[in-house]
Amino acid sequence: MNEGACSVAEVMECTGAGTRCGSCQPTIAKLVGAGEPVAAPRRLTMAPVSSAA
C-alpha cells in the first residue's frame, strides 16, 4: 500500500499475500478499504519431484 497498491488484487500481486490459502484476504480487504476480497489467481509453488526410486 505504501507503494501505491489500492486493491486486494494489487496487494496480492505486489506482496504474494493471500495467494496461498487465501485466509488473509479479508484482512487485506479491510486494510485497503474494500468490501470483500476479490478472486485473483493463486500462485502455487511446485515441490521438486525426484525421479530416483
For residue range 1-53, what is the model confidence (pLDDT) as tens digits? 555 667 888 888 888 888 888 888 888 888 888 766 555 555 556 667 777 65
Residues spanned by the domain of 16: 1-33
Examine residue 39 and state whether it is found in any structural domain, yes or no: no
Task: Using CA atoms of 24, 29, 30, 34 in order, give the dihedral in degrees to the nearest 10.
Answer: -170
Rg over alpha carbons for the chain, rounded to the nearest Å, is 14
Residues 25 and 37 sit within 8 Å (Cβ to Cβ): yes
Examine residue 17 and state whether it is found in any structural domain, yes or no: yes
What is the value of pTM for the model shown? Answer: 0.55
Examine residue 45 and state whether it is found in any structural domain, yes or no: no
